[in-house]
Amino acid sequence: MITLKGDTIYLRALEPNDLEFVYAMENDQSIWEVSNTQTPYSRFLVKQYLENAQQDIYEAKQLRLAICQDQDFPAIGLIDLFDFDPKNNRAGVGIVIQGQGNRNQNIGSEALELLIHYSFYNLNLHQLYANISTENLASIALFSKFGFEEIGTKKDWILVNGSYKDEAVFQLINNKF
Q: Is 99 left (phi over 0), alpha (psi -120 to 50) or beta?
A: left
Residue 36 has a pLDDT of: 67
Q: Percentage of the chain with pLDDT > 90?
A: 50
pTM to 2 decimal places: 0.87
Split at pLDDT 50, 70, 90, the class of 116 is: very high
Give CATH for domain 3-125.
3.40.630.30
- Per domain, the residue ranges of the chain are 3-125
Q: Which of 2-16, 51-65, 92-106, 146-160 has the highest mean pLDDT?
A: 146-160
User: What CA–CA distances, in Å, run from 152 to 116, 132, 149?
Assistant: 21, 11, 9
Taking residue 64's Cβ as centre, other Cβ atoms within 10 Å add up to 19
